[in-house]
Amino acid sequence: MARAISTGTISFGLVSIPVKLFSATQSSAGVAFNLLHGKCGSRLKQQYVCPVDNEVVSRDDMVKGYEFAKDQYVTFTPDELKALEEKATQSIEIAQFVPRESIDPLYYEKAYYLGPEKGGEKAYRLLATVMREANRAAVARYAARGKQYIVMLRVSDDAQGGVGIIMQTLLYADEVRPFSEIPIPDAEVRESEVKLAKQLVDQIGAETFNPADYEDDVRKRIQADIDRKIAGKEIATAPNPPEGGRVIDLMEALKASLGEGRRPAKAPSEAETAEPIASLAKAVDGVPGRKPARRAAGDAAPTVAPEARKRASKR
């Protein structure tokens, strides 16, 4: 059973809904490496050094400062820093309801599940039902951990009865870089290329996305190699794979992706098959110290086509 990490109150108009916050995601057990002393293998400790006095500074002697000009700082006491923080009201104040698809996923940050507190079950279900039927999401302000967040409330399709509410923290506008900063040169796309590309999309398309179909293969491989090292075995190092060549002919690349560029290999004729056999046999017999292979009793001699024997005798 999931455990709540905090509590809050959804408010819109004169309606207040007490809720619990649950983490919707969990970080995978990532592979982490520590810095060790190469001489003795001990784990290293981090220290802060003053470049002016050239001495190690303890935490008791540290203060926080804001750089307002090059190498010029204004310092703050712990109490002053505390006063700068936003007061955590735990209130999720809905500012407006917008079409759910109008919020670009580019602004999505961290997600939380919201569950109703005791006494808020009916109002919680009412809000979720209205948002689902209207296909709307709520944009709200939320203050916690000394910061003010802009959040989106949306209904989860996976929740029981489709009435579960997800709170998604969003990035502010100035935290998202505009796409206009990315240069995209002009290029002409032919209709025939579009048609083949659509076929490729249909070929590898799916109706739904199933996250369980994908695993972190790199993390699994690294963990397997670490386990080998723990067991006293060496890790086999492989050379870097060659870089792929640039696509010159887009149409040929699309055809090859669709399988249209592949042609079945032509079956060799009897004469074409026999000639390499005769040449190989001649080459083996000519190796110094090499004795002809003995045939067991009853074994038939290998059959060589007449055309191949003629060509071999001319040589």
pLDDT at 296: 43
Tell me whether residue 255 is exposed, middle or buried, using C-beta atoms within 10 angstroms of its C-beta: 0 to 12, 13 to 18, 19 or more: middle
Confidence of residue 173 (pLDDT cuts 50, 70, 90): very high
Residue of higher predicted confidence among 290 and 27: 27
Q: Would you state the structure tokens that stand for residue 282, as one six-digit string?
A: 């001649």
Domain boundaries, the chain: 6-26+88-175
Say if residue 2's pLDDT is above 60: yes
Tell me whether residue 250 is exposed, middle or buried, using C-beta atoms within 10 angstroms of its C-beta: 0 to 12, 13 to 18, 19 or more: middle
Diameter of the chain measured on Cα atoms = 104
- 308: Cβ–Cβ under 8 A, 6 or more apart, which residues? 271, 274, 275, 277, 278
- The residue whose two tokens read 């820093």 is 81
CA 265 – CA 257 distance, rounded (Å): 18
CA atoms within 13 A on the CB side of 269: 6
CA 285 – CA 312 distance, rounded (Å): 14
Q: Would you state the structure tokens that stand for residue 154, as one six-digit string?
A: 């949306």
Over residues 114-137, the pLDDT tens digits come to 999 999 999 999 999 999 999 999
Contact between 94 and 138 (Cβ < 8 Å):
yes
76-96 average pLDDT score: 84
Confidence of residue 161 (pLDDT cuts 50, 70, 90): low
Contact between 223 and 217 (Cβ < 8 Å):
no
Q: Would you state the structure tokens that stand for residue 187, as one six-digit string?
A: 């290029």
31-60 average pLDDT score: 90
pLDDT at 22: 93
Q: What pTM was estimated for this model as a whole?
A: 0.63
Maximum average pLDDT range among 69-83, 96-110, 210-224: 96-110
CA 156 – CA 207 distance, rounded (Å): 19
Question: How many CB atoms sit inside 10 A of residue 136's CB?
Answer: 18
Residue of higher predicted confidence among 144 and 58: 58
pLDDT at 243: 65
Listed residue (108, 109, 113, 103) closest to 164, CA to CA: 113
pLDDT at 48: 92
Confidence of residue 271 (pLDDT cuts 50, 70, 90): very low
What CATH architecture is 6-26+88-175?
A: Beta Barrel (2.40)
Amino acid at 188: E
Rounded percentage of the chain residues whose pLDDT exceeds 90: 39
Cα torsion at 241, 247, 248, 249 (round to 10°)?
130
Please state, rounded to an integer, the average pLDDT across all residues of the chain: 79
Residue of higher predicted confidence among 53 and 212: 53
Lowest-pLDDT range, 93-97, 168-172, 279-283? Answer: 279-283
200-210 average pLDDT score: 84
Contact between 29 and 16 (Cβ < 8 Å):
no
- 155: Cβ–Cβ under 8 A, 6 or more apart, which residues? 128, 131, 132, 162, 163, 164, 165, 166
CA 305 – CA 270 distance, rounded (Å): 7
